[in-house]
Structure 1
Amino acid sequence: MTQSATTSFDAALARALTGARSFNAFTDQPVSEALLRDLQAAAQQGPTSMNCQPARFVFVRSDAAKARLLATLAPGNVEKTKKAPVTVIVAQDSRFYEHLPTQFKAYDARPMFEANPELSAATAFRNSSLQGAYLIVAARLMGLDVGAMSGFDAARLNAEFFPDGRYQANFLINLGYGDPAGNHPQGPRLPFDTVAQIL
């Protein structure tokens, strides 16, 4: 790898992960619909098991939609969400398997999930979590900053945004152009020997 390629790789890795932060404050610079569409398209390319793609993304931007969302949040998440240009509801489609005939053509996998609600729920949760993580990394690489959150009343949020019950919220992501003044000191990370092993 050339020096310039190494430098570019290091810069991209820092932007996506090693130098990235979870933002609690954002500037008032808006995030365009075109950028949100590009972001979703990029994140959608990340792999999921059997190409199941269960994540569903609701980009909450309008004042009216934001008010509906704020009412479902834990108190500590209200102010930062109010000030974020966009909040993404990362949800999972409980009937993702209905799309498998067109998205996964190796064999007919739909009956396997249709007949096994436990497997279907676990697959939807696991893979929508993956897709939410892809969205975070893609957003950072596209110049946005993010703050992922799990402090919300899931039953209330689902009733408000997904009343038919098909989709269920997994987690939330505040999205925009971050203001570093709102960051807390970065917490430590567990060392390799605590979290990993090579067999």
Structure 2
Amino acid sequence: MRTVKDVFADRTCYKYTDKAVSLELLQEIYDTMKLGPTSANSCPLRIIFIESQDQKEKLLKCLMEGNVEKTKSAPVVAIFAYDTKFYTKMDKTHPISPVMKNYFASSEAIALDTANRNSTLQAAYFMIVARSLGLDCGPMSGLDAGAIEKEFLSGTGFKVNFVCNLGYRDGDNPFPRLPRLDFAEVCKIV
């Protein structure tokens, strides 16, 4: 397993080898990721893994032009989505307080805000675990959400958050690391 610094020092992957990503590895990543905290254990993330060439061709039509080539080379692409009615599973995920299920069910705005925020957290957990287990990741938000939802999420009530290429890096990252903000620029202790 890699160190935390190694995981975060990694960069977005732009080109992948053709080495397959096993179902067992995806399950291991998920089984670790699912332990990360979410609001009221809401667990709204839903993941569609795309491996087949015909499904990938459908996805490519939903991506911005700049994301097509890197996605073509990835052995797996994860569509990170959220269940807008995640609270229907809260009998299982939050059985200690049935009132939480009713709280989210009573306000679509609160439910959507919670689903979006917490699915983003869960997807970030997924990428951190994936990197720690040797996969390279290429998260992307340059996409046509409506097209992805129509093609891959129709009838589910799920909404796409972002997509992420998964696999094993082929070569070096072609771009220099961009600057990050320093602690003093973004943090305040009161």
Aligned: 1:148 with 2:142: no
What is the TM-score when the length of structure 2 is the normalising length?
A: 0.96
Q: How many pairs were matched up?
A: 189
Where do 1:104-115 residues align within 5 Å?
104-108=94-98, 109-115=100-106
Asked if structure 2 preserves the Cα contact closer than 8 Å seen for 1:25 and 1:183, the reply is: no
CA–CA separation in structure 1 for the residues paired with 2:92 and 2:168 = 37
Kindly provide the CA deviation profile for residues 31-51 of structure 1, in whole angstroms up to 9, marking residues without a partner as x. 111111111111111111111
Which of 45, 50, 58 does residue 60 from structure 1 map onto? 50
* Letter matched to residue 132 of structure 1: A
Which of 70, 77, 80 does residue 80 from structure 1 map onto? 70
2:179 matched residue in structure 1: 188
Q: CA deviation at 1:183?
A: 3.4
Which of 82, 89, 92 does residue 99 from structure 1 map onto? 89
* Letter matched to residue 170 of structure 1: N
Residue identity over aligned pairs, in percent, reads 38
1:136 matched residue in structure 2: 127
CA–CA separation in structure 2 for the residues paired with 1:28 and 1:75 = 22
What is the TM-score when the length of structure 1 is the normalising length?
A: 0.91
CA–CA separation in structure 2 for the residues paired with 1:53 and 1:98 = 11
1:177 matched residue in structure 2: 168
Moved over 6 A (4+): none
Q: CA deviation at 1:147?
A: 0.9
Asked if structure 2 preserves the Cα contact closer than 8 Å seen for 1:22 and 1:183, the reply is: no
SS for the counterpart of 1:180 is coil
Q: CA deviation at 1:102?
A: 1.6
SS for the counterpart of 2:3 is helix
SS for the counterpart of 1:152 is coil
1:23 matched residue in structure 2: 13
* Letter matched to residue 114 of structure 1: A
Which of 33, 37, 41 does residue 31 from structure 2 map onto? 41
Asked if structure 2 preserves the Cα contact closer than 8 Å seen for 1:158 and 1:165, the reply is: no
CA–CA separation in structure 2 for the residues paired with 1:198 and 1:180 = 41
* Letter matched to residue 56 of structure 2: K
* Letter matched to residue 157 of structure 2: R
- Against the structure 1 CA distance between its residues 154 and 122, is the aligned structure 2 distance closer, same or farther, given a 3 Å change threshold? same
CA–CA separation in structure 1 for the residues paired with 2:78 and 2:172 = 22
**Mean CA deviation greater in 101-110 or 150-159:** 101-110
Kindly provide the CA deviation profile for residues 96-125 of structure 1, in whole angstroms up to 9, marking residues without a partner as x. 000111211231111111110000000000
Where do 1:114-129 residues align within 5 Å?
114-129=105-120
* Letter matched to residue 51 of structure 2: R
